[in-house]
């Protein structure tokens, strides 16, 4: 029998308890493993009481860490502290740890993996990225022999839901409100809509895909500045806009970024709608693969956590990665195509002015469209050929200073995948 200690009985912790209670016979029948909840820790005993675990309840997490009969600690506190301390102390006490905490892995993963290795125990975190999408296990096991070239991830269900609604005609504000009503978005949605959640997940994924030390210094932009006009114009041009987490390895460098991205409507990632997540992987031998599923939710996430528990209990010890140092490419040196939207007066000579600025900064235009007629101020949409990020940023600053530009330009990168 494998004894488990659960620290944190919130939504996910309650889901883990529920599945273990309801499916323990199924788990043992399929795996031969009997899992037993030995002790649970939560600040308030009423949660443990509602789950029928009052006799196993404690408010002191150290009771779980110091219990010699407990084999695996499940950390579901969330955030940086005390989660990092809990994980570190558990590992040093020779206990395996399973967590769904993307924040602590993205920030402190390197040191925690080292601690796990020094104490000959496992630190597993499948549920930290992609909910029930088995991307961590795929990278560490199924694709262990593969040289990954690139990963493109829709890693945040809130932003994907909002973009789905905007595609249907909703404004950003109305789509966000709907997401909050349905529980997909928090009352303060900043962490999701500004891309921070996706950025933490990319930090973890890229380290596994490209075997480098986790680096959470990632260029990150969210969707809060997007207009439904941009969604509409992208659609007319044959694209959709997704908040993509992008990782690429080329010539010994890693390119990491999170931002709204225009991709061809024919690409598989455009079929990923609402709160679903997907990770699209390109490798040397596997070519293209996409993993898809629920990105969050109590029971999907709890199911994946229990999968990690079973791996450990089955003595299927997954090595804690020994990562390499590698150069993360500066965002200013990346090369991309760009969508640029300007609002300008409908008068002669306007096109020549901003075309000159772009040309002076080594940016070639592939197409220009004026989107409205018979108005004094009209939107102009520009598509560029490939250009260097620092050049487009310099050009935008110069364009902003032109007296013909009536609003701050909107810039969206285009990925030809």
* 373 conformational bin, left if phi > 0, alpha if psi -120 to 50, beta if neither: beta
Residue 40's DSSP bridge partners are 6, 57
To the query of whether residue 38 is one of the catalytic residues in this protein, the response is: no
Q: Which of 47, 102, 167, 201 is catalytic?
A: 201
SS (H, E, C) 71-130: CEEEECCCCCCCHHHHHHHHHHCCCEEEECCHHHHHHHHHHHHHHHHHCCCCEECHHHCC
Q: How far is CA 129 from the centre of its chain?
A: 6
Lookup: tokens for 258: 């999170």
Strand pairing of 35-41 and 2-7? parallel
Q: How far apart are CA 120 and CA 124, in angstroms?
A: 13
The residues assigned a catalytic role are 201
């Amino acid at each position: 029998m494998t004894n488990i200690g659960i620290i944190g009985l919130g939504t996910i912790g309650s889901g883990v308890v529920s599945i273990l209670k309801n499916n323990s016979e199924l788990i043992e029948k399929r795996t031969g493993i009997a899992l037993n909840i030995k002790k649970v820790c939560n600040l308030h005993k009423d949660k443990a009481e509602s789950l029928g675990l009052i006799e196993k309840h404690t408010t002191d997490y150290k009771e779980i860490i110091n219990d010699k009969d407990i084999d695996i600690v499940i950390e579901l506190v969330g955030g940086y502290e005390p989660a990092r301390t809990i994980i570190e102390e558990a590992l040093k006490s020779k206990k395996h740890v399973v967590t769904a905490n993307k924040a602590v892995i993205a920030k402190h993963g390197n040191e925690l993996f080292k601690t796990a290795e020094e104490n000959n125990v496992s630190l597993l975190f499948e549920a930290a990225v992609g909910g029930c999408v088995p991307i961590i296990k795929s990278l560490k096991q199924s694709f262990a022999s593969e040289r990954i070239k690139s990963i493109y991830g829709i890693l945040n269900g809130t932003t994907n839901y909002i973009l789905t609604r905007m595609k249907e005609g909703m404004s950003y504000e109305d789509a966000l409100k709907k997401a909050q009503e349905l529980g997909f978005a928090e009352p303060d949605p900043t962490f999701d809509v500004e891309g921070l959640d996706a950025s933490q997940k990319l930090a973890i994924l890229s380290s596994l895909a490209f075997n480098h030390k986790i680096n959470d210094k990632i260029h990150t932009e969210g969707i809060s500045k997007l207009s439904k006009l941009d969604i509409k114009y992208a659609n007319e041009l044959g694209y959709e806009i997704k908040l993509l987490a992008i990782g690429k390895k080329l010539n010994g460098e890693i390119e990491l970024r999170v931002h709204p991205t225009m991709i061809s409507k024919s690409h598989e990632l455009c079929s990923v709608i609402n709160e679903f997540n997907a990770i699209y992987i390109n490798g040397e031998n596997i070519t293209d693969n996409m993993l898809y599923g629920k990105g969050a939710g109590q029971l999907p996430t709890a199911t994946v956590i229990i999968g990690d528990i079973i791996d450990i209990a089955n003595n299927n010890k997954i090595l804690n990665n020994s990562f390499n140092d590698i150069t993360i490419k500066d965002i200013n040196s990346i090369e991309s195509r760009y969508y640029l939207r300007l609002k300008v007066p409908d008068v002669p000579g306007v096109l020549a002015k901003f075309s000159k600025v772009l040309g002076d900064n080594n940016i070639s235009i592939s197409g220009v469209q004026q989107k409205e007629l018979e108005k004094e101020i009209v939107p102009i949409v520009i598509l560029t050929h490939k250009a260097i990020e620092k050049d487009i940023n310099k050009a935008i600053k110069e364009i902003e200073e032109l007296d013909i530009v009536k609003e701050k330009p909107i810039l969206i990168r285009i990925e030809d995948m």
